[in-house]
């Protein structure tokens, strides 16, 4: 199935920070309440839909037990998310970016919320489930010069990005993920036009995590009147417009990297739109271009 191995179509000399890849926002929130749920598919199902970037946010309870988190909401035990990742790595030779972190502190109206993690337990889960000695990419030097061909030769299957290197085998390579509560709370049509400006304004030598999901927030145009799935239904019709605007600008095509969103398993539309950018980048293997085009034209 194409979506399980789409990276095999990419040329060896393509830099990992320049490949357009589907990602998921709040990747492990399947099964959480409507307020907190940003994905309806498991991590494994997302992999089957082409996702290669996972955003996994954790928090610990008073006993130090780790859970997936979306703000104040608590999801599945972290162990279940790591079990799903293990299943992916056992079956796939693709390369994945894991953004694993403690849920960041929040300000909601007048309220300030803070969350605690458990770095020792997270490191234990990494070691128990993800075979990091064999599969984790570390010591890579300048990530901006690393090619997918070099990764293939190394046999590595994932990199854990974490700005503070909180866990064993995590990396502090550059990752930017621009987000503004006002912008991400715009009405969908306005939002679709504005978020592309992040690509225009910002540069990085590392991974560019381009978030395309709408977010309910107090004090924004959408406010708290709609939850993530409601917003996704309204905004996903503008997703092709976002990709089209990027496609029309060679500088944006060159810059775009991780394109993440909510509900990545609703259908293949988002994955197909994102993967089409690799054709414009010229990084699909010449002999496989027609097959690649056919696979994403649905």
- What pTM does this model have? 0.97
Cα separation of 156 and 152, whole Å?
7
CB of 40 closer than 8 Å to CB of 263: yes
pLDDT for the residue 224: 80
Cα separation of 192 and 235, whole Å?
8
pLDDT tens-digit map of 146-204 = 999 999 999 999 999 998 899 999 999 999 999 998 999 999 999 999 999 999 999 99
Q: Comparing 13-17, 80-84, 113-117, 223-227, which segment has the lowest mean pLDDT?
A: 223-227
pLDDT for the residue 263: 98
Q: Which two tokens stand for residue 241?
A: 């417009």
pLDDT for the residue 113: 75
pLDDT for the residue 108: 64
pLDDT for the residue 111: 67
Domains, the chain: 2-296 (3.20.20.190)
pLDDT tens-digit map of 31-66 = 999 999 999 999 999 999 999 999 999 999 999 999
pLDDT for the residue 114: 85
CB of 136 closer than 8 Å to CB of 158: yes
pLDDT for the residue 298: 67
pLDDT for the residue 225: 77
pLDDT tens-digit map of 77-110 = 999 999 999 999 999 999 999 999 999 877 766 6
Inter-residue long-range contacts of 179-184, CB under 8 Å, 24+ positions, other chains counted: 179/211, 179/215, 181/215, 181/217, 181/219, 181/220, 182/219, 182/220, 184/211, 184/213, 184/214, 184/215, 184/217, 184/220
pLDDT-above-90 percentage for the chain: 87
pLDDT for the residue 28: 98
- When pLDDT is cut at 50, 70 and 90, the band that residue 4 belongs to is very high
Cα separation of 137 and 157, whole Å?
7
pLDDT tens-digit map of 191-245 = 999 999 999 999 999 999 999 999 888 888 888 878 999 999 999 999 999 999 9
Segment 271-282 shows an average pLDDT of 98
Rounded to the nearest angstrom, the gap between the alpha carbon of residue 251 and the centroid of all alpha carbons in its chain is 22
What is the H or E stretch that residue 258 is in?
Answer: strand 258-261
């Amino acid at each position: 199935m194409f979506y399980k191995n789409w990276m095999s179509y990419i040329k060896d000399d393509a830099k990992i920070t320049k490949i357009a890849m589907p990602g998921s926002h709040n990747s492990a929130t399947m099964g959480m309440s409507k307020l907190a749920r940003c994905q309806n598919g498991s991590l494994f199902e997302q992999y089957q839909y082409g996702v290669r970037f996972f955003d996994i946010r954790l928090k610990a309870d008073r006993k130090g037990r780790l859970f997936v988190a979306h703000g104040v909401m608590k999801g599945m035990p972290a162990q279940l998310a790591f079990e799903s990742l293990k299943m992916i790595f056992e079956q796939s030779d693709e390369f994945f970016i894991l953004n694993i972190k403690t849920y960041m502190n929040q300000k909601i109206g007048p309220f300030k919320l803070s969350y605690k993690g458990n770095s020792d337990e997270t490191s234990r889960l990494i070691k128990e489930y993800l075979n990091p000695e064999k599969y984790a990419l570390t010591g890579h030097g300048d990530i901006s010069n690393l090619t997918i061909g070099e990764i293939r030769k190394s046999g590595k299957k994932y990199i854990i990005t974490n700005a503070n290197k909180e866990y064993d085998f995590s990396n502090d390579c550059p990752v930017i993920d621009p987000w503004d509560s006002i912008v991400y709370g715009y009405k969908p049509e306005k939002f679709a036009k504005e978020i592309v400006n992040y690509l225009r304004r910002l540069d990085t030598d590392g991974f560019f995590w381009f978030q395309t999901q709408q977010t309910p927030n107090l004090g924004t145009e959408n406010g708290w009147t709609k939850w993530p799935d409601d917003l996704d239904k309204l905004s996903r019709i503008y997703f092709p417009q976002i990709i089209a605007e990027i496609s029309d600008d060679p500088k944006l095509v060159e810059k775009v990297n991780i394109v993440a969103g909510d509900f990545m398993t609703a259908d293949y539309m988002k994955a197909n739109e994102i993967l089409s950018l690799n054709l414009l980048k010229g990084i699909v293997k010449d002999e496989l271009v027609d097959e690649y085009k056919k696979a994403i034209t649905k």
